[in-house]
Structure 1
Amino acid sequence: MTHDVKETFQRHAGTSGAAPPAPAALAAKVRTLAPSMTRSMQRVAEAVAGDPAGCAALTVTGLAELTGTSEATVVRTARLLGYPGYRDLRLALAGLAAQQQSGRAPAVTADIAVDDPIADVVTKLAYDEQQTLADTAAGLDTVQLGAAVTAAASARRIDVYGVGASGLVAQDLAQKLLRIGLIAHAHSDPHLAVTNAVQLRAGDVAIAITHSGSTGDVIEPLRVAFEHGATTVAITGRPDGAVAQYADHILTTSTARESELRPAAMSSRTSQLLVVDCLFVGVAQRTYETAAPALSASYEALAHRHRR
């Protein structure tokens, strides 16, 4: 069985703008999509995320003048962020500004400096971690998540691909699934990943974890699995990245701002682990009658080992 890549693109394009993001998800959308925008669109996105109250008061012409862009660029940016037009974006900005003023959406803290006291480092990292989790939860498509859960819960076999920091997350997911009695394997070696992907077929699931959405060593085995008929899932911070063309379901992660002392690998791992946990719990719920005894058996086996 071979999937139609074009149909997959059309399916994701049709669902991406189904409902405008909630105000709380706006900043997350900006952080996720800004790297793939043109520089002029980035200026618009950074302006609305940095000063939602001020930008909410501006007309499309005013925002274009403020950012040194054009009205067309402002409208394109609004649409890329998931809003039908600039009017809808302004409404979201007003909502976000109200949340910030009420204290429910605090302003982003400053980056970690090389001379920061360790207490400040803890505070800033804790805030960034919390914001990353909140952004990921706000932007996660639960319809896509539910579909991925359904596929994994009934899968004959599940392969998970990831390299580097994403490879650690792939191992975490595979180990969780193994403990509830599912056949799951994590592959960080690209050659082993591809040779295993060749064996997949309809009824199997392949999951690729890549923050950038462009990691070749992860995309290639997903492509092979896709073309052999497996249900494919991408966990990525770039839903418009190359990995999307081979994914039946896309689960989007957010990331805190990258800085010199906090590279993307750290912040992306936080959001990936949240998505992995959501996926795992969903599968455990669907397979509870077999998952619960399997989990109890694994606990008992580990406890017995430690007693020896």
Structure 2
Amino acid sequence: MKIEQIIKEKFNSLTKSEKKIANYILESPNHIIYGTMNEIKGAIQVGDATIVRFCQKLGYSGFSDFKIEMAKEDYSQKESLANDNQLFFDQAENKIIDCIQRTKRKMDIKSLKESSELLSNATAIYIFGVGLSGNTAQDLEAMFLRIGIQSKAISDNHFQMQTAALLKETDLVIGISLSGKTQDLFEALGVAKEHNAKIISITNTLVSPVAQISDIVLQTVSEEFFNGASLSGKVSQLYVCDLLVRYHEKLFEKEALSSRVEIIRAVMNKSLD
């Protein structure tokens, strides 16, 4: 049975506060799937206990169980749209194109310019990410190297914390997280902040914990709660990374071109005839 139907069937038995939650879910289901309990509490002005009781009245053990069921239902509905092979290919293509277009609309030259200035002034550059975002951190390290910027990607949280503890105010950390709520990353960036290092975050929302402690936020837009490590989430991150690298290269064209030439020459010397 769909959650929307369950809510409507039980609506009259709910308390006044629980009805506020029900209406909020019916009007903005994505806010539940991609939001936290604190965000939902702030939006409709109810307490933790009220949200938990509401979920239990619908037959779920608590908010997390309810949220997962909503995400599963949403994911299943989207996947069921691809009911033939051609539609299947089109859906995958359109999802990536839409992700890039929406990411593009979130970007602005001012943020790229300020990020480029931090890159230019940094004595050391580190890129922090965990899981999928850890892989993106390594990709960004490789992109930077191509234009002559030496950086270090770190995906292990223990090494992130140790590195952050030794940072100076002239150092730069780039933190990557789609949700902006990854605890390990947030803790490491918090230590970096305590040492006055500059922070650029690549993340979905401006109000996430990671974004809030950053000096500059470059936004991605992928919403993939139930489909972690999806291609669209990865593409959104890589698109932002590419814009950052290309903009910096544009400002420092001569130096970047020289680096590219030297790197290509070195790689060509390793090629077999």
Fold shared, TM-score > 0.5 on shorter chain: yes
Q: How many residues align?
A: 210
Residue 236 of structure 2: which of 271, 275, 280 is its match?
Answer: 271
Aligned to 1:139: 106
What are the superposed Cα offsets for residues 51-71 of structure 1, whole Å, 9 maximum, x if unpaired? xxxxxxxxxxxxxxxxxxxxx
Distance 2:270 2:83 in 1: 44
Percent identity for Structure 1 against Structure 2: 27
Matched residue type, 1:273 = L
Q: 1:305 is paired with a residue of what secondary structure?
A: coil
Q: How does 1:53-92 map to 2 (within 5 A)?
A: none
Q: Which residue of 1 aligns with 2:271?
A: 306
**Given that residues 129 and 256 in structure 1 are in contact (C-alpha distance below 8 angstroms), is that contact kept between their aligned partners in structure 2?**
no
- Supply the distance in 1 between the matched residues of 2:156 and 2:248 (Cα, whole angstroms): 26
Q: Give the structure 1 partner of residue 177 of structure 2.
A: 210
Q: Deviations over 1:89-120 (max 9, x none)?
A: xxxxxxxxxxxxxxxxxxxxx72239844432
**TM-score for the superposition, normalised by structure 2:** 0.69
Moved more, 292-301 or 133-142: 133-142
Judged with a 3 Å threshold, the aligned counterparts in structure 2 of structure 1 residues 43 and 220 are, in CA distance, closer, same or farther, namely same
Q: 1:157 to 1:44 in 2, by over 3 A?
A: same
Whose radius of gyration is greater, 1 or 2? 2
Q: Does 1:235 align with 2:190?
A: no
C-alpha distance in 2, partners of 1:198/1:250?
22
8 Å Cα contact 2:82/2:91 also seen in 1: no
Matches of 2:251 and 2:238, distance apart in 1: 20
- Residue 284 of structure 1 aligns with which residue? 249
Measured in 1, the distance between the counterparts of 2:23 and 2:120 equals 44
What are the ranges of 5 or more consecutive residues in structure 1 without an aligned counterpart?
A: 1-37, 48-75, 78-109
Q: Is 1:251 paired with 2:209?
A: no
Off by >6 Å, runs of 4+ in structure 1: none
Distance 1:190 1:39 in 2: 39
Whether contact under 8 Å (2:224, 2:233) holds in the other structure is: no
Shift of 1:245: 2.8
- 5+ long unaligned stretches in structure 2: 1-20, 31-42, 45-76
RMSD across aligned C-alpha pairs, in angstroms?
Answer: 2.7
What is aligned with 2:72? none
Q: Give the distance between the partners of 1:181 and 1:145, measured in 2 at CA.
A: 18
Q: Is the 1:178–1:184 Cα contact (8 Å) retained in structure 2? A: yes
**Pair 1:174-2:168 in alignment:** no
Question: For the structure 1 residues 45 and 295, does the alpha-carbon distance in structure 2 shift closer, same or farther, using more than 3 Å as the test?
Answer: same
Task: Indicate if the aligned counterparts of 2:206 and 2:212 stay in contact, CA closer than 8 A.
Answer: no
Task: Tell me: CA distance 1:39–1:283, structure 2 relative to 1, closer, same or farther (3 Å).
Answer: farther
- Amino acid corresponding to residue 204 of structure 1 in structure 2: D
Measure, in 2, the Cα distance between the counterparts of 1:198 and 1:236. Answer: 23
In 2 relative to 1, CA 176–115 (structure 1 residues): closer, same or farther, beyond 3 Å?
closer
Q: What pairs with 1:111-122 in structure 2 (closer than 5 Å)? A: 111-113=78-80, 116-122=83-89
Q: TM-score, normalised by structure 1?
A: 0.61
Q: Retained in 2: the 8 A contact 1:141–1:252?
A: no
Is residue 194–residue 221 contact of structure 1 (8 Å, CA) maintained in 2?
A: yes
Alignment match of 1:160 (pick from 122, 127, 130): 127
**Distance in 2 of aligned mates of 1:154 and 1:286:** 14
Distance, in Å, in 2 between the alignment partners of 1:141 and 1:115 is 34
CA contact (8 A) 2:171 2:197 kept: yes
CA contact (8 A) 1:128 1:256 kept: no
Are 2:110 and 1:129 equivalent residues in the alignment?
no
Q: CA deviation at 1:213?
A: 0.9
